[in-house]
Amino acid sequence: MRRLLWLLPGLILALPGSASAAGSVPLPSGPSIAHALQTSPQLTLLGLLALLALLPSVVLLMTSFTRIVVVLSLLRTALGLNQVPPNQVIIGLSIFLTFFTMAPTLSRVEQTAFQPYLAGHLTVAQAATAAETPVKQFLARGTRQQDLEIFLKASGAKAPKSLQDVPLSALVPAYTISQLTLAFEMGVLLFVPFVIIDFIVASVLMALGMMMVPPTLISLPLKLLLFVLMNGWGLVVQTLLTAR
């Protein structure tokens, strides 16, 4: 886990290279910035601190964390539980599941960019370019084509010939909304059986004339029993780990 935490800044290394390639963020030409970063430890430390400040945004927008936390929150709502599991448990589980799903990508970033950079074989710009490829491949696997086309058209960019030509400025938001769409689709499937239980319980109580009995008083234990008998947590986590 500590190794993965050290690898997370490698994801951010892809941002400068892709932004420059997309032309959306103009950078000064020439070796001035790279030379300054390499010769000034203070500037290097300042750059690393700036990248670490962007780490929460990277976790939210460039990993599977958003999809996982949304699905788990919708599951809690579908069960009719307001604070069980607590928010801390949902967020903690989402973080660890995110590390698990991101492990192959982080390993590739480490092998192709992070370790060569620490060994002095790559410069900052070269490491950023090397880290960009596995990050883009991960984002592309979870991005719907129609969502990506929305941002490409909005930015006025030409149709990319390959994945390397797709700017992160379009790929990241397209990936985020694709993951949100997938999370909502999974949420609908989670709601269906529990809504059916609520409907059946409410109909039975009304037929028996028990109008004063809250339906949730009967349906909640039934939903929990059904969820436990079906190994609900295992099925949900397995779907979250395999969904794209």
pLDDT of residue 35: 47
Element (H, E) at 178: helix 168-207
Residue 157 pLDDT more than 80? Answer: no
- 38: tokens are 């390499």
Higher-confidence residue of 231 and 156: namely 231
Please state the rounded mean pLDDT for residues 155-180. 82
Please state the rounded mean pLDDT for residues 211-231. 83
Spatial distance between the Cα atoms of 90 and 71, rounded to a whole number of angstroms: 10
Spatial distance between the Cα atoms of 13 and 134, rounded to a whole number of angstroms: 12
Residue 73 pLDDT more than 80? Answer: yes
Confidence category of residue 40, pLDDT binned at 50, 70, 90? low
pLDDT of residue 56: 73
pTM passes above 0.85? no
- 88: tokens are 């801390």
Please state the rounded mean pLDDT for residues 88-109. 88
85 cis-preceded (ω within 30 degrees of 0): yes
Kindly report, residue by residue over 109-136, the tens digit of the pLDDT.
878 777 777 777 777 777 777 777 888 8
Yes or no: say if 80 and 194 are a contact pair by the CB < 8 Å rule.
Answer: yes
- Percentage above 70 pLDDT, the chain: 81
Residue 96 pLDDT more than 80? Answer: yes
Domain residue ranges of the chain, discontinuous segments joined by +:
2-242
Residue 161 pLDDT more than 90? Answer: no
The single-letter code of the amino acid at 199 is F
Element (H, E) at 95: helix 87-109
Spatial distance between the Cα atoms of 70 and 63, rounded to a whole number of angstroms: 13
Yes or no: say if 163 and 137 are a contact pair by the CB < 8 Å rule.
Answer: yes
Yes or no: say if 114 and 229 are a contact pair by the CB < 8 Å rule.
Answer: no
- Only one residue has tokens 């963020």, namely 25
Q: How many residues does the chain have?
A: 244
Q: 120 by DSSP, 3-state: which?
A: coil
Spatial distance between the Cα atoms of 241 and 123, rounded to a whole number of angstroms: 34
pLDDT of residue 71: 93
Confidence category of residue 184, pLDDT binned at 50, 70, 90? very high
Please state the rounded mean pLDDT for residues 222-241. 87
Residue 89 pLDDT more than 70? Answer: yes
Higher-confidence residue of 35 and 153: namely 153
pLDDT of residue 72: 92
